[in-house]
Amino acid sequence: MSKVWFVTGSSRGLGRALVRAALEAGDRVAATARRPEQLADLADEFGERIYSLALDVTDPAAAAAALAASRERFGRLDVIVNNAGYANVSPIETTDDADFREQFETNFWGVYNVSKAAIPILREQRGGLVIQFSSMGGRVGGSPGLASYQAAKFAIDGFSRVLQVETAPFGVRALVVEPSGFRTDWAGASMTVHEAPDAYAETVGAMRAAASQSGAIMAGDPQRAAEILVKMTRRQDIPYHLPLGVNAAEGSIALDQRLLSDDRKWREVSRSADFSEPYPVPFPAETMSQTV
């Protein structure tokens, strides 16, 4: 069956690739962007199957209005995609507080606003799929200079886990997509790279250098990613997390293995905090790499 999509951040990058892939698959798409005129070529090509709307996802009322207008246009909404987002680079110590908050407003609160407004629609029609764009950094984390962006992506995961449980009785599913580097302008025009003190040369400085040579970290093909996601919407059996790209896949597996190893190593100590468990218990032997 064809699907009806609602996609934020549709004017470029993965969002635009996803809109095109869905349209080429025969679906209909409500494509939102701050500047919907950038979608004019897709409207010329696909006609009434694309509905372009202006949307600033940080405005809750605007998000609700865009969703309502899209449902009125197409009759239903099957796939909600929260893709809008951006990142700036600077160390936590010197990041401008307003810049940190503005990034978080789009990267997390935008997802919150659209998801919350979509829930009544999906609940009423008894089904739908919410696709949340996180990133490899939202699973693995630890990228210097990207504290606001990655904090928001981790928050999206926690938020979406609850959303999934609360809406499952209504037939609603959630998919958190975790891309590694893709050939978009994420590290180009969309990113402001701030100066970093010399003390951060080895950490944030390295990220600044990578961002200035963005082609080196953009191995992913947006068209392939979009086609994968369109195919995913046709399945009943889907994962909750979907890493996309070699670095995302291998980095996630490596992290999961490290976390499992640590959990097993500290299991008895962790359990000993409960009244019913033996206490005290010996700590694991320290290794040289862990000695301070």
Active site residues: 134, 149, 153
Helical packing angle, 110-125 and 147-167, nearest 10°: 20
> How many Cβ atoms are within 10 Å of 54's Cβ, its own excluded?
12
Q: In what order do the strands lie in the sheet with 172-179?
A: 50-54, 28-33, 4-7, 79-82, 128-133, 172-179, 241-244
b/e sequence 182-195, b meaning 16+ C-beta within 10 Å: bbbebbeeebebee
5: exposed, middle or buried (C-beta count within 10 Å: 0-12, 13-18, 19+)?
A: buried
126 near 171, Cβ under 8 Å?
Answer: yes
Give the C-alpha distances (Å, rounded to integers) separating 72 from 67, 170, 259: 9, 21, 46
